[in-house]
């Protein structure tokens, strides 16, 4: 019994030892986990320390760069201060120069005003002197005329000094005889025009001026003749080239529109090409050659449209407006007219004012005026797909028209395609 009790005690002791061993192992595992966490925390702290050191290094670099930038900014600021000081000094110098120039300008204005007054006084004195001179000249001329009339002596010649010794040596009777002879000869000469030489000089000057003007007119006439000749030559050349091109276009379009026949543009013979008249000769298929005035209304209209398009083909433009040119045409000719217009659509857009429903059906867009109620007209704008095959406008297109305007009703519906 003692042995069993002892075994039981030993078993209990072993159990306690095992329990303590389990606790020790559990505590050891806990310590190992703590050590692992401590090691991870240590590595995290070292990594954070490295990052902090890198950030510190970067901050030091930025601080150095900022200090360098501050030094450069201070240097630039110093240079700016120096430039400002220089500009201020230059501005003061310019202001001083401006003040000096202003003072000089005022001085010059004062001098100019003084000079102007002096000039005005001198002009008045000169005017008075000129009046006095003119008065003296008039008095001199009056005295010369009186002496000439009373004594028949020209004072201009009388001013020539005479040889008094020669006159004193001549006998009195001989002197009287010579005087009477001279008076008789002077009387026989009649009135003497003393201004003839001046008139001759004036006429010669006028003749030279007129001769120069006449030569200028002759040169201008020759220059104008050359220019007119060149213009006429260029006009004949351009007219001939244009006429031949339009003539060829007209012949081709006429045969295409009428399905055959012939047409031509004929100039009047025996007259200059710039003054000659132009005849349009058209021969539809199955008919004789006739002038355009002898054709039927539809043929004449279609021929005129063909000629117009031939001219338009020679010198096309982006847009062309045709106002009811298909009015005299029947359905067949309207179809030909539409076919020709379609050939021109590659370089020209047509605006056609028409009453023909067939013409409207081939348009891309329709604009027109219609009257659904008496005395009330509506403006209509529809697209091609909004028009039926027989030329009627769909009702939904009419619903989009703007508010009606009370106008005088048109004679009938008119559309612009």
Instruction: Note down pLDDT in tens along the chain; length 417 residues.
Output: 777 888 888 888 888 888 888 888 888 888 888 888 888 888 888 888 888 888 888 888 888 888 888 888 888 888 888 888 888 888 888 889 889 888 888 888 888 888 888 888 888 888 888 888 888 788 777 777 776 666 555 656 555 555 555 555 667 677 778 777 877 776 776 655 666 677 788 888 888 988 899 899 999 999 999 999 899 888 889 988 988 999 898 889 888 888 888 888 888 888 888 888 888 888 888 777 666 777 777 888 888 888 888 888 888 888 889 888 888 888 888 888 888 888 888 888 889 898 888 888 888 888 888 777 788 888 877 776 665 666 566 666 656 554 444 444 444 444 444
Specify if 410 maps to a domain: yes
For residue 354, give the nearest of 412, 307, 400, 296 by alpha carbon: 412
Residue 379: Cβ within 10 Å count? 14
Specify if 324 maps to a domain: yes
CA distances (Å), origin 400, targets 136, 365, 372, 403: 99, 15, 14, 9
Specify if 165 maps to a domain: no
Specify if 242 maps to a domain: no
Q: What is the token pair recorded at 26?
A: 């559990």
State the pTM of this model: 0.43
Specify if 354 maps to a domain: yes
Q: How far apart are CA 91 and CA 89, in angstroms?
A: 5
Determine the 3-state secondary structure of 47 from DSSP: helix
Provide the number of structural domains found in the chain.
Answer: 1
CATH of the domain at 406: 3.40.50.300
Domain extent for 381: 316-417
Specify if 189 maps to a domain: no
Specify if 374 maps to a domain: yes
Q: Please provide the size of the chain in residues.
A: 417
Q: How far apart are CA 412 and CA 369, in angstroms?
A: 9
Specify if 99 maps to a domain: no
């Amino acid at each position: 019994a003692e042995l069993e009790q002892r075994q039981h005690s030993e078993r209990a002791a072993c159990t306690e030892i095992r329990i303590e061993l389990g606790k020790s192992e559990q505590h050891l595992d806990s310590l190992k986990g703590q050590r692992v966490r401590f090691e991870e925390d240590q590595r995290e702290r070292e990594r954070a320390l490295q990052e902090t050191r890198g950030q510190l290094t970067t901050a030091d670099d930025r601080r150095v760069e900022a200090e360098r930038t501050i030094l450069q900014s201070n240097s630039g600021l110093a240079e700016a201060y120096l430039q400002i000081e220089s500009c201020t000094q230059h501005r003061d110098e310019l202001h001083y120069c401006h003040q000096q120039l202003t003072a000089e300008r005022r001085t010059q204005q004062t001098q100019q005003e003084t000079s102007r007054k002096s000039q005005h006084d001198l002009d008045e004195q000169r005017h008075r002197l000129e009046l006095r001179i003119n008065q003296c000249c008039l008095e001199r001329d009056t005295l010369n005329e009186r002496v000439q009339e009373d004594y028949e002596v020209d004072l201009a010649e009388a001013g020539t000094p005479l040889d008094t010794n020669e006159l004193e040596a001549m006998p009195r009777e001989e002197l009287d005889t010579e005087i009477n002879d001279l008076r008789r000869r002077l009387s026989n000469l009649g009135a003497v025009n003393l201004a003839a030489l001046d008139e001759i000089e004036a006429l010669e000057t006028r003749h030279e001026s007129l001769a120069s003007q006449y030569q200028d007119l002759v040169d201008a006439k020759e220059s104008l003749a050359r220019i007119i000749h060149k213009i006429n030559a260029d006009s004949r050349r351009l007219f001939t080239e244009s006429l031949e091109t339009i003539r060829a276009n007209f012949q081709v379009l006429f045969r295409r529109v009428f399905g055959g026949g012939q047409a031509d543009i004929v100039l009047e013979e025996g007259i200059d090409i710039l003054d000659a008249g132009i005849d349009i000769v058209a021969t539809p298929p199955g008919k004789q050659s006739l002038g355009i005035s002898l054709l039927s209304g539809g043929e004449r209209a279609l021929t005129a449209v063909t000629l117009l398009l031939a001219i338009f083909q020679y010198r096309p433009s982006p847009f062309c407006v045709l106002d009811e040119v298909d009015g005299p045409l029947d359905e067949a000719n309207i179809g030909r007219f539409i076919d020709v217009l379609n050939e021109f659509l590659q370089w020209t857009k047509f605006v056609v004012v028409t009453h023909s429903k067939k013409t409207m059906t081939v348009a891309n867009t329709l604009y027109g005026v219609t009257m659904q109620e008496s005395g009330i007209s509506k403006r209509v704008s529809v697209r091609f797909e909004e028009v039926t095959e027989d030329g009627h406008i769909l009702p939904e297109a009419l619903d989009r028209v703007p508010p009606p305007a009370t106008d005088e009703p048109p004679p009938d519906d008119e559309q612009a395609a």
